[in-house]
Structure 1
Amino acid sequence: MASRKTTIFVIIRTPTFTLNAILRKVDDVSFVLTALKMNGGQVLILCEWPKATFDPQEILREFTFLRKLIIANSNLTRLSTAFPREMQFLEKINVTGTKLRLLPNDAFTNLRTLRCLDLRNNAFEEISITVFDVSTLKDIYLAGNPLRCTEDVAWILDSSEGSAASRVVDKDKLLCATPYDGRPLVPIVEIIVTLKEECKETVCACELIYVVARAGKLTQRQLIAFTSVNCSYRGLMEMPEFLPADTTTLHLSGNKIKDLTPLATNPAYKSVLDLYIDDNLIESIARLEGSDWLDRFRLLNLRGNKLTDLPTYALENALLHNSNAANLYLGNNSWTCDCHFTPSFQDLLIRHPNIIKDINDIRCAFTSDSDNSNKQIRDLTRTEICISSNEDSWLHPLDILNIILASLIFLVLGKLLYDYWSFKKTGKLPWIVAKIP
């Protein structure tokens, strides 16, 4: 043994063939094996188990009087079979500090005296409730595993007497893995289950995106949930009247919605920060003017609707006071390009290039009789906006006024120079100056 760098400590009062049998099952016995006769029963401790799998049927069948089994600190990843029926005295199983992540659903079914199961600090991402279907099992420990918080672990919420969840001793210490790293498992699963029930009242798909913990005790009420609801391409004529609680992102793309009024009037939209309502039939956003929603939105996608104009002053005011505003999409609409609307709209686009993300797609409506048809609004000049193509530019009143004013300026300057020259030459003041008393 010494030549193979194997350490084995044996204190045993069972027949020698039992120890020899377990050693024959392992090709490389680079683990510490201790078998102790304690309190009239038997304890088996396996440290640094050398294999990725452990076969209870093969390894433990001859340990018929075993009462406690401990497997610790190893690279074990899987139990390949259920525990054998012959182990009729086994009361406690500790598998801790390993990489165990897979168990047969019937792993412990044959154990008629099992009372305590400790699976802490392993690599379980999910555990089927059927694993705990052992009538004698009283205490279950699961903390320290990277459990996925999904609907599949909803059984943990069942607090009824005798349920598997009621036997999980360290339920309050269970934490979620990605994407809710470090968040308490039970309240997260409560949120997921509640979300599923509320989502049934809609025609949408719902997903819990992220959870932020408030200061204090981590319960469901101390968690801020961010939920995404996808109602895209559902043939909706109106915005949904009901949304699941804590809906922060709402997708309504590709429907036939014309009215945005619910954003300003329906309390269901109070938590919506990101709204995707592109490719609908929206003709106006005037109903949002002065609304709380416009002052706190984070993303608004209005691409591909029927917008021709909008209240630029209201939107400008909202963007100045809304610290959340990050993304606004207005492209692929049939925008009016005239002297009444376009100058203020153009100023809005130029002042907020970091928020208005698709500025290159914001163009004048396509019309066959306009030189501005399909041009980028940001790049239009005032002359292009305010002078129509059928007007004779040299007869335009503004141009005539400009010519007259320029002529008067030159006339005044010329008279001033003449009077200065005349005074230097003759010493006489200009006639108008001489007449002034």
Structure 2
Amino acid sequence: MTAQRTFLIVLFYIYLHFSHGFTKDDFTKDDDICWDHPHASDYPECDFVKSRQRLVCFNGLKDEWRARAENVQILILCEWPKATFDSHEVLREFAFLRKLIIANSNLTRLSTAFPIKAQFLEKINVTGTKLHTFPKDAFSNLRSLRCLDLRNNALEEINVTAFNTPALKHIFLAGNPLRCTEDTAWILDPNEGSAASKVVDKDKLLCATPYDGRPLLPIVEIIATLKKECKQTVCDCELIYVVGRAGKLTQKQLIAFTSVNCSHRGLIEMPNFLPANTTTLRLTGNKIKDLTPLTINPVYKSVLDLYIDDNLVESIVRLEGSDWLDHFRLLNLRGNKLIDLPTYALENALHNGNVAGLYLGNNSWTCDCQFTPSFQDLLIRHSNLVKDINDIRCALMSDNDNSNKQIRDLTRTEICISPDEDSWLHPLDVLNIVLASLIFLVLGKLLYDYWSFKKTGKLPWIVAKIP
């Protein structure tokens, strides 16, 4: 290092000691210059304000300024022409730089960490770009960095180790499509000095898809709580959707929809505990027989969609008259041990206005004159809700003509007349023949009397005898 350069650095340290850094106005009045003065040319163009030691460049940095970099304390790069920014290369000669702004450009990546030579750099603004990634040690060499503004970029995930610099006090992140996942739980850290404590605009952070536009803090709180509660089960849990109520959105003003998957876990009974806001519960492929918890355990109050297919359920009688049966949205009972069910109770439930789907296929349904007619009527009447009506069949029995037939298509004769009975001369058939014969006799006698009266003028004998 030359003697002249060493002397300049010493003078600059003395200046910093007495000036105590930039004022608040110094930090903010340059931020919008790239937007206030758009640049139409494709060639680099720079303007230096000597009184403020500020260099503003559009569409790149001219090489001539590298030789004069020691005079620059504020560097503003508007419409940066490249997709990457190599701070080692660009800032190599800017040893006394105190503020850097990169704005209004298609920049997507900071390719290297900021060099240790930028030891006086106090504020970095990278705003209004397509920045989506930067090295985890991007700012680790900047011992004077106090403010980092990364608003309105394309950041989806943030490695918080990049913020582990001792002097950093203020971080701005609003306007980025941040993913609200378990990895974002760092934002909840209340400890002083944590990355979360440095984020100034936490209340303005919003989630990206699938919680698009929802406030980040309450969503991440819900996810963190769900993860904690899910550890008390043998299931997998997922926050699938969030609906906001009117007004300022906090965790208490958000309606969460959680899916809990306990399929194929070898369960012999329904779980005693579920995470809060469980709306979808999957219990497929277990050995559960009893559905009573739906009626007595309050953790099932919010469950709207229940998948309990391929289990050992033999009856749903215990659900009759229950609040759950009156409010469910989807019930999947495929592949269980059901032979019948209370059709009147299910009929009432299907009129609750919430039902979207009912699955009853692959059960061994009884096909007799007592149960099947009303069950068949229910299936036909609600065929839009019974999603697997083609799989609802009579029990598979070798000695039954209705074996494995679709219940929807059975006739009353097939249901109510046993094949052992004399099908060609059933008592009901005899009665029908007798009644039909009497009707024909009465009609014939009426026609004969009318013909006789017209021809002879005599009234029928029975009419003449009536007083």
TM-score range, shorter chain: over 0.9
Displacement of 1:253 in angstroms is 0.4
Structure 2 SS opposite 1:401: helix
> What is the CA deviation profile of residues 371-399 of structure 1, one whole-angstrom value per residue up to 9, with x for unaligned ones?
11111101111001000111102332221
**Amino acid aligned to 1:398:** L
Q: Does 1:338 find its partner at 2:375?
A: no
Mapped contact 1:300–1:329 kept (Cα < 8 A)? yes
Who is 1:387 aligned against? 417
Who is 2:48 aligned against? 11
Structure 1 SS opposite 2:344: helix
Q: 1:5 to 1:93 in 2, by over 3 A?
A: closer
Q: Does 1:170 find its partner at 2:201?
A: yes
Of 173, 180, 186, 1:155 maps to: 186
Structure 1 Cα separation of the partners of residues 247 and 50 of structure 2: 53
Structure 1 SS opposite 2:275: coil
**Amino acid aligned to 1:30:** N
Taking structure 1 as the reference length, the TM-score comes to: 0.93
Mapped contact 2:72–2:94 kept (Cα < 8 A)? no
Structure 1 Cα separation of the partners of residues 235 and 117 of structure 2: 53
**Amino acid aligned to 1:11:** F
**Amino acid aligned to 1:412:** V
Structure 1 Cα separation of the partners of residues 171 and 376 of structure 2: 66
Q: Does 1:287 find its partner at 2:318?
A: yes
Displacement of 1:30 in angstroms is 3.1
Displacement of 1:64 in angstroms is 0.8
RMSD of aligned residue pairs (Cα, Å): 2.0
**5+ unaligned residues in a row in structure 1: which ranges?**
24-28
Who is 2:398 aligned against? 368
The farther-off stretch of 156-165 and 222-231 is 156-165
Structure 2 Cα separation of the partners of residues 409 and 290 of structure 1: 49
Structure 2 Cα separation of the partners of residues 143 and 296 of structure 1: 40
Please list every run of at least 4 consecutive aligned residues from structure 1 whose deviation after the TM superposition is greater than 4 angstroms.
32-35
Who is 2:146 aligned against? 115
Q: Does 1:415 find its partner at 2:451?
A: no
Structure 1 Cα separation of the partners of residues 440 and 294 of structure 2: 59
Of 59, 66, 71, 1:30 maps to: 59
Structure 2 SS opposite 1:169: coil
Structure 2 Cα separation of the partners of residues 408 and 178 of structure 1: 77
Structure 1 SS opposite 2:400: coil
Of 224, 227, 235, 2:255 maps to: 224
How many residues of Structure 1 are paired with residues of Structure 2 in the alignment? 420
Structure 2 Cα separation of the partners of residues 365 and 9 of structure 1: 85
Displacement of 1:10 in angstroms is 2.6
Structure 1 SS opposite 2:414: helix
Mapped contact 1:157–1:190 kept (Cα < 8 A)? yes
Of 266, 269, 273, 1:238 maps to: 269
Structure 2 Cα separation of the partners of residues 283 and 420 of structure 1: 66
Q: Does 1:328 find its partner at 2:358?
A: yes
Structure 1 Cα separation of the partners of residues 282 and 100 of structure 2: 53
Displacement of 1:319 in angstroms is 0.8
Structure 1 Cα separation of the partners of residues 337 and 159 of structure 2: 52
Mapped contact 2:98–2:120 kept (Cα < 8 A)? yes
Structure 1 Cα separation of the partners of residues 377 and 48 of structure 2: 87
Who is 1:65 aligned against? 96
Structure 2 Cα separation of the partners of residues 422 and 236 of structure 1: 85
Who is 1:26 aligned against? none
Of 82, 101, 104, 2:132 maps to: 101
**Amino acid aligned to 1:70:** I
Who is 2:37 aligned against? none
**Amino acid aligned to 1:87:** A
Who is 2:168 aligned against? 137
Q: Does 1:201 find its partner at 2:232?
A: yes
Who is 2:73 aligned against? 42
Q: 1:174 to 1:396 in 2, by over 3 A?
A: same
Q: Does 1:79 find its partner at 2:110?
A: yes
Displacement of 1:216 in angstroms is 1.2
Structure 1 Cα separation of the partners of residues 305 and 87 of structure 2: 53
Displacement of 1:12 in angstroms is 5.9
Structure 1 Cα separation of the partners of residues 272 and 308 of structure 2: 15
> What is the CA deviation profile of residues 24-71 of structure 1, one whole-angstrom value per residue up to 9, with x for unaligned ones?
xxxxx8347798x9xx97100001111111111111121110000000
Structure 1 SS opposite 2:45: coil
